Amino acid sequence: MTRKLAAAPEPPSDALTVAPSAWISPDARIFPSVRGTKIAIGAGSKLFEFAVIRAVGGSGDVVIGERCMINPHCVLYSGSGIEIGDDVALAPGVQIVPANHAYHRRDLPIARQGFLPSKGGVKIGDDVWVGANAVLLDGAEIGKGAVIAAGAVVTGKVPPYEIWGGVPAKKIGTRGEEAL
């Protein structure tokens, strides 16, 4: 006997906005919300193959500014919200998931404990470069012009034009100091 699966609800038409000059690889995947949150991709931004943007795990929106590069295998889950400024580059494999499962109880599987309160989502200022495989956690706020080194795990605020790396990420330099 075969069981029929219920048809998945369709997202509303304003759940996803892509500027006409943005480019989305046919091999990238975007899963807009059926629960009212929004995904917006600004003018001139590019989403490369196997990048995934999924509305899930919270009530935040995903807003990507202009001329951003979201490279292959980046994963952005909306969670408590993701705000990305203009001219931001996410190197391959960057993971942005601003949501945490509640996990403290032992008598209930984590999957049934819901979520911890939001720490404000993830915010990335203009002209930021996030290196390959970096992970940005809920509450990460990356100031304008900052650089995040490959493999970093960012948990909080990174001041403008600083270079941060490591797990958890710490300051490892300042951008452009030698050139000033």
Ligand X SMILES: CC(C)(COP(=O)(O)OP(=O)(O)OC[C@H]1O[C@@H](n2cnc3c(N)ncnc32)[C@H](O)[C@@H]1OP(=O)(O)O)[C@@H](O)C(=O)NCCC(=O)NCCS
Instruction: State how far the Cα of 7 lies from the Cα of 2, in Å rounded to an integer.
Output: 15
CB of 46 to ligand X, least distance (A): 12
Give bridge partners of residue 54 from the DSSP assignment.
31, 77
Q: Which of 35, 101, 170, 171 is catalytic?
A: 101
- Contact segment (CB under 6 A) with ligand X among 21-29, 55-63, 113-121, 166-174 equals 166-174
> Which of 120, 143, 145, 151 lies at the binding interface for ligand X (CB under 6 A)?
151
Nearest to ligand X of 91, 142 (CB atom): 91
Q: Which is nearer to ligand X, 15 or 122 (CB)?
A: 122
Least spacing, CB of residue 137 vs ligand X, in Å:
16
Dig out the tokens for 146 from the structure: 């900052």
Determine the 3-state secondary structure of 141 from DSSP: strand
Question: 104 an active-site residue?
Answer: no
For residue 110, give Cα distances in angstroms to 96, 97, 102.
20, 17, 7
3-class secondary-structure state, position 177: helix
Tell me which stretch binds ligand X (CB under 6 A): 15-23, 44-52, 80-88, 163-171.
163-171
Q: Residue 96's beta-bridge partner residues?
A: 76, 136
- Here the tokens at position 45 are 């931004």
Residues lying near ligand X in the complex (CB under 6 A) are found at 71, 89, 91, 131-132, 147, 149-151, 163, 165-166, 172-173
